[in-house]
Amino acid sequence: MTQDITPEIQDQLNLSALILKKNHKQANLSSWSGFNLEDKMHVKQAERLLTILGLKSGLHLRNSLQRYESGLMVSQAFEKLAAEFRTDTTKTFEAKYQALNNPQTQNTYKMVWKYRFSLKNQKLIGYEIAMYIFQMRLGLVLGFITTEEIILRLEEVNATVKSTFSSWGEFHRNVCIGDEYVLGVTEQDVSTFPNMTTLWDHYQRLHIEHADWFKNWNK
Amino acid sequence: MSAIFKTHIIPNLKLDTLEASETKGLHQVLEILEATDTDIYKNIQNNRDFSGITAEFSTQIAQQIYFHPQGYANTTEGIAFVIAWLPLLKEGIYLDEKSTRKLVEFLTFNLGYFQSEAFSETIEQQLFQVIKILVESPSEAALPIVQFLMQRIFDIRDVLSSEYLIQNCLKYDLLSGTYAVKQDDETISTFPYTIDSNFINYFFEGNWELFIHKFHQLLPVGRVYEKSAYDIITPWLSNDLAAFYEANPNSALTAIEAIKERLIWADAQSDALLHLTTTEGNYPLMQALANKKWDSGDVLLFNTRDTNLPKEQLDAGYINFLDWLIADGGANLNSEAFKDYGIKILSENTANNLPLECIPFWFQIAHPQTGFKNHSETFNTLFSKLFLEDDSFELLPTMRLKGKDVQVTGPFVIRSIAQSHSNVLLWFERLQMEGLKNPLNQFLIRAFCDAGEALLELFTAEEQENLQRLLLNLAYATRDASAIVKAKNIPLIAETLGFLCVESGNFTRVNEIWALKDLDANATDICNQFARKHYINENRPLTLNTIQALFNYLGDYYYSLTKEAVWVPEALTTQGTRIAQYFNLQNEDVGFFIHRLVDRVLSFHKRCKSKEATNPIFKTISADIEVFLIDFLGKLKNEKLHLNTITQLYEYSNSDDSRFSSNDALYDQIESYSQYILETEIAESKVATEQDAEDTQESESEKDSIDTVSTSKIDINAIEVNQHYVEALLINLETYKTAGYEIELLDYFNTHIEDLKIWLTNDETGLEMRFSQTLYMTLLDTDLALGTPLETYGNLSKNIFVHLVKDSNLATSYAMGLKAISKSGAYADPLANALLQVADQLNA
């Protein structure tokens, strides 16, 4: 049974708007999943995303949600490295950075170094919760999850986000940082993929098209 | 009376040599012939008296009547002569041997004429009537005629005559029943028409080979879709013939060839012959078919087999069939014999008739690597009908092996692949890419499932791991498979994996298998049982991982409204004690884990309680959680709990949104902790004072001073402005909310405020800064504001603050801060005004 989307739920769903738009440009942000279930191409895209994320069933999905919720997915690794860097000096960090051969790890180091103090408390929780909600919406396409369950789960993570961040700007910034931290150098370069829209593009568009959604930070 | 008798025979009859009895016989003959007006009849009638004499039809009379070779000189007359015998023959007056031989000569000579159009049908009818009477007569005339017929029928050099006689034999029902033979002692014996030694002796010169040779030649001859010699011979088939075939395998082989030819050319089956049995019940011809190497004809022949035959007779045939199919690199698969007939051998059959060899055969022929690409589809269809779509057996059928019905088992199937492949799994891996829609995979899954625990013996640990991976891939790649295939196979895969995945601890694998339930509803139970077995298994030692997983799934259970992780309530209601015992036995500090566990459980309890009204499900969840907490906390040793865990439990238990209070046992349990804490605190302070006594040097350390002053036993009269009491005051100002209000102490310093100020100016440990900051905080505390019970404490501290800060470097800053705060709107007007007053006093 599909429930109605109340303004409150819409506000909670919007926490995943940025990630959803990035993964599915045509997403309808005011629907439950964002995907048009009548449109085969939409369903195919959802299936493709689920495969990439390794979500083969409802159980896979829930296990993934558990990992995002507990910070096991991103925040713990980030914080571990950040804690280490907080005691480093520029010189010792430089040495560590130079010792790496893997550009992906180098990128990670650079990111963590940059945010080692500013994200001490927030870590990358914003990004994780955005992914959490995004995955629930994806799961809905193949019936891995029901809207009732989504409502229950939304309530919890909404509380987490709203108590961790103080505004939409702060939250979305965290999502962007998290996305860059996770994907790193794999983010497509606009010069080689001219039709690609970066997360930053989506961010701006989102705030222009749905300006009213992102004004109030409803605790 | 016919003319020939009138003109030639009767006038020439001689009575001289006849005995009286013979004369009487002749007399009767004449009567039958209605020759009563002839001279000879009158002669006999007048001269003889036959009283007391029996009539005798001797050879002499027979010859006088029947033996007239000159009568055959002209064909038409000859036929008329023969037909004229009918009245006599009907009365049982038969030919003697000599006249019969003459008759046979005549018949042989005129066979061609009989088939011509000049020979009218009425006459033909009469002629065969004569022959029929003679053939069936119990006289010496019978054998020569029968021999004549046999000879001509089995002589296919003159195929037209043979065919002519065959058709007439069938028409007049000749050559059935019995035949009569005159023995050497002149007696007549009768024998049934059956192929035995007598038969061979009388008709084929005692030579079996001759008969067999002619028989096989004759068999395929005849007109299509009409009766033929086979129909005459069928009733004659005998055990003796079977015995001959059994003793002469070569003859049996030629018989098979003849039967095949008959099948191919005349399109007629020869079941009776093919299924000939000896007295011992052997089937010599089936045996011959089983022992030879097959060609297409044999396939055709086998296709016409009688399905009622004993299975033993067919076993070898099926195996030959399979050999034929893969012979010559599968060339026969393209033949018509296979397409039109061979397929039927498999398609119109059931697995329990077929030999076990079918399974390896199928594996070989339909496997993408070894098989014949164009034909694997055909065989997959055939065998899936036999093995997968037949509901008469559960997983695997019974099949034929070495003449017995054998239940096919999983281990057998796996071994039979192993025999021809060094690496079974590699072989399976290739196949697995085809997905579940490939029937071979479906069959293998049945085999694996049937093998069950035997899999652990059949495969090494590494291979088992591999197999699990392969099966999971197979299950998750079910996109193309139909719903029916999924419904049948996913539960089997889940069950098989249940056998394979027995090692504990690999929860990634466990979850992957558990998740199969989402692929098909039929697998739900099996998968949930499987997961339950891994997460709640009393036979396995608990680990932190398991416990953690258990409480992680509490979330899924809650969020999905009990639809997922269905074993969680069982875990909650049965595992509490066990988990507590696990923690009790740990030497390391597990308080952190317990805290997280309790925190998680409580948070879900809280959520359930707050939603109880919307859905009764939440009520059951919170009830289960309470059962767990009772079991768990009841068994857990108190010292395993951290103080903050106890605080949390205590606060939650006494908060408004908890309903623990309706659960007395749990409530009491949590209440008991406060007693425990009190006891430990007393014990700890005892330890502390003992240490105090032992080590007076460190008695002035900060920690100890807290302990000594916080016991509220300050002697007012002993107070003086010194380090000890200043620090006591400072600490009270910092901790008054929990430690209590030492108003007297504060009052003392208020009256001795100048002393305090001097003491602080001389102090070098930085207490002054700390003092003013602490006092500043009390200003902002609404609990100490005007009009509250603690107004005094607030006023005293305010007074001290103003005295201490006024004229110091910090006075302006504090004043500005106070102004800003009072205007921020964070405080109610009375307090804001009080703060402004303080600011004014500072600035004054």
Spatial separation of the C-alpha atoms in residues B223 and B230, rounded to whole Å: 12
Q: Which of A59, A69, A148 sits opposite B511 (nearest CB)?
A: A59
For the beta carbon of residue B107, count every other beta carbon within 10 angstroms. 21
Strand partners, B181: B189
Q: Which of B476, B518, B559 sits opposite A153 (nearest CB)?
A: B559
Domain contains A106: no
In this predicted structure, what is the pLDDT of residue B13? Answer: 78
Domain contains A210: yes
Q: Which of B476, B561, B564 sits opposite A62 (nearest CB)?
A: B564
Residue entry with tokens 């059928």: B397
User: Are A96 and A109 in contact, with CB atoms under 8 Å apart?
Assistant: yes
What are B836's two structure tokens?
């402004």
Alpha-carbon gap: A32 to the closest alpha carbon of chain B (Å): 17
Q: Which residue of A has its CA nearest to B475?
A: A56
* Interface probe, candidates B552, B559, B562, chain A, greatest A C-beta count within 10 A: B559
Strands B404-407 and B178-182: unpaired
Domain contains A15: yes
In this predicted structure, what is the pLDDT of residue A141? Answer: 92
* Interface probe, candidates A59, A72, A144, A158, chain B, greatest B C-beta count within 10 A: A59
Spatial separation of the C-alpha atoms in residues B204 and B198, rounded to whole Å: 10
In this predicted structure, what is the pLDDT of residue B692? Answer: 54
Whether A152 sits inside 8 A of B559 (CB atoms) is yes
Domain contains A137: yes
**Sign of the alpha-carbon torsion through B829, B835, B840, B841:** positive
User: Side-chain half-sphere of B671: how many Cα atoms within 13 Å?
Assistant: 9
3-state helix, strand, coil split of chain A in percent (to 5) is 65, 0, 35
User: Are B378 and B332 in contact, with CB atoms under 8 Å apart?
Assistant: no
In this predicted structure, what is the pLDDT of residue A165? Answer: 93
Whether B518 sits inside 8 A of A59 (CB atoms) is yes
In this predicted structure, what is the pLDDT of residue B479? Answer: 62
Spatial separation of the C-alpha atoms in residues B490 and B487, rounded to whole Å: 6
Name the strand (E) or helix (H) holding B587.
none
In this predicted structure, what is the pLDDT of residue B711? Answer: 39
Alpha-carbon gap: A154 to the closest alpha carbon of chain B (Å): 10
In this predicted structure, what is the pLDDT of residue A75? Answer: 92
Q: Which of A57, A145, A149 sits opposite B515 (nearest CB)?
A: A57
Q: Which residues contact B34 (CB under 8 A, 6 or more apart)?
A: B1
pLDDT score of B49 more than 60: yes
For the ranges A146-150, B2-6, B234-238, B395-399, the lowest mean pLDDT is seen at B2-6
Q: Which residue of B has its CA nearest to A51?
A: B476
Spatial separation of the C-alpha atoms in residues B170 and B165, rounded to whole Å: 8
Question: pLDDT tens digits for B526-561?
Answer: 998 888 888 888 888 888 888 888 888 898 899 888
Question: pLDDT tens digits for B478-525?
Answer: 766 788 888 888 889 888 888 888 877 778 888 888 888 888 888 888
In this predicted structure, what is the pLDDT of residue B359? Answer: 86
In this predicted structure, what is the pLDDT of residue B66? Answer: 83
Spatial separation of the C-alpha atoms in residues A124 and A180, rounded to whole Å: 11
For the ranges B102-106, B434-438, B688-692, the lowest mean pLDDT is seen at B688-692
Q: Which residue of A has its CA nearest to B566?
A: A59
In this predicted structure, what is the pLDDT of residue B303? Answer: 80
The total number of structural domains that make up chain A: 1
Q: Which residue has the higher pLDDT, B478 or A202?
A: A202
Domain that holds residue A168: 8-74+124-186+194-214
Q: Which residues of A touch B562 (CB under 8 A)?
A: none
Q: Phi-psi bin for B178: left (phi > 0), alpha (psi -120 to 50), beta?
A: beta
Percent of chain B with pLDDT over 90: 0
Q: How many helices (H) and strands (E) does chain B have?
A: 46, 4
Question: pLDDT tens digits for A3-34?
Answer: 789 999 999 999 999 999 988 888 899 999 99
Domain contains A101: no
Q: What is the mean pLDDT of residues B251-265?
A: 84
In this predicted structure, what is the pLDDT of residue B151? Answer: 87
Spatial separation of the C-alpha atoms in residues B627 and B666, rounded to whole Å: 9
User: Are B536 and B506 in contact, with CB atoms under 8 Å apart?
Assistant: no
Q: What is the mean pLDDT of residues B819-829?
A: 75
For the ranges A47-56, A196-205, B72-81, the lowest mean pLDDT is seen at A196-205
Q: Which of A57, A62, A145 sits opposite B519 (nearest CB)?
A: A57
Name the band, by pLDDT with cuts 50, 70 and 90, for residue B708: very low
User: Are B531 and B507 in contact, with CB atoms under 8 Å apart?
Assistant: no
For the beta carbon of residue A11, count every other beta carbon within 10 angstroms. 18
3-class DSSP assignment, residue A34: coil
Question: pLDDT tens digits for B300-315?
Answer: 888 877 767 777 778 8
In this predicted structure, what is the pLDDT of residue B169? Answer: 87
Spatial separation of the C-alpha atoms in residues B236 and B200, rounded to whole Å: 12
Whether A57 sits inside 8 A of B516 (CB atoms) is yes
In this predicted structure, what is the pLDDT of residue A125? Answer: 93
Q: Which residues of A touch B512 (CB under 8 A)?
A: 60
Alpha-carbon gap: B445 to the closest alpha carbon of chain A (Å): 21
Percent of chain B with pLDDT over 70: 93
- Cα–Cα nearest to B628, from B583, B554, B571, B677: B571
In this predicted structure, what is the pLDDT of residue B436? Answer: 82
In this predicted structure, what is the pLDDT of residue B686? Answer: 66
Spatial separation of the C-alpha atoms in residues B276 and B270, rounded to whole Å: 10
Q: Which residues of B touch A69 (CB under 8 A)?
A: 555
Q: Which residues contact B489 (CB under 8 A, 6 or more apart)?
A: B436, B442, B445, B475, B481
Total residue count of chain A as it appears in this document: 219
Domain contains A59: yes
Q: Which of B512, B515, B560 sits opposite A149 (nearest CB)?
A: B560
Alpha carbon distances (Å) from B497 to A173, B39, B445, B494, B540: 45, 112, 10, 5, 19
In this predicted structure, what is the pLDDT of residue A205? Answer: 87
Question: pLDDT tens digits for A186-197?
Answer: 556 656 666 667
Question: pLDDT tens digits for B383-421?
Answer: 888 888 888 888 888 888 887 888 888 888 888 776 666
Domain contains A80: no
Spatial separation of the C-alpha atoms in residues B218 and B156, rounded to whole Å: 7
Chains A–B, number of C-beta pairs less than 8 Å apart: 42
Residues of B with CB under 8 A from a CB of A: 476, 511-512, 514-519, 552, 555-556, 558-561, 564, 607
pLDDT score of A136 more than 90: yes
**Sign of the alpha-carbon torsion through B496, B500, B503, B505:** negative
Question: pLDDT tens digits for B571-611?
Answer: 888 888 899 988 888 888 888 888 889 999 988 988 888 88
In this predicted structure, what is the pLDDT of residue B699? Answer: 40
Whether B556 sits inside 8 A of A62 (CB atoms) is yes
Whether B556 sits inside 8 A of A66 (CB atoms) is yes
Q: Which residue has the higher pLDDT, A94 or B658?
A: A94
Q: What is the mean pLDDT of residues A132-161?
A: 92
Does A3 reach chain B within 8 Å, measured CB to CB? no
Strand partners, B189: B181
Q: Which residue of B has its CA nearest to A60?
A: B515
In this predicted structure, what is the pLDDT of residue A189? Answer: 62
Q: Which residues of B touch A57 (CB under 8 A)?
A: 515-519
Over chain B, what is the mean pLDDT?
81
Name the band, by pLDDT with cuts 50, 70 and 90, for residue A1: low
Alpha-carbon gap: A116 to the closest alpha carbon of chain B (Å): 26
Q: Which residue of B has its CA nearest to A147?
A: B560
In this predicted structure, what is the pLDDT of residue B694? Answer: 53
Q: Which residues contact B170 (CB under 8 A, 6 or more apart)?
A: B227, B231, B232
Domain contains A39: yes
pLDDT score of B710 more than 70: no
Q: What is the mean pLDDT of residues B205-218?
A: 85
Spatial separation of the C-alpha atoms in residues B467 and B812, rounded to whole Å: 80
Q: What is the mean pLDDT of residues B259-276?
A: 79
Q: Which of B515, B517, B561 sits opposite A149 (nearest CB)?
A: B561
Strand partners, B191: B179
ipTM above 0.90, yes or no: no
Strand locations in B219-327 (E):
none
Strand locations in B785-826 (E):
none
User: Are B444 and B428 in contact, with CB atoms under 8 Å apart?
Assistant: yes
Q: Which residues of B touch A70 (CB under 8 A)?
A: 552
Q: Which residue of B has its CA nearest to A148?
A: B560
Does A152 reach chain B within 8 Å, measured CB to CB? yes
- Cα–Cα nearest to B734, from B684, B770, B788, B688: B770
Question: pLDDT tens digits for A55-75?
Answer: 888 888 998 999 999 888 899
Spatial separation of the C-alpha atoms in residues A89 and A85, rounded to whole Å: 8
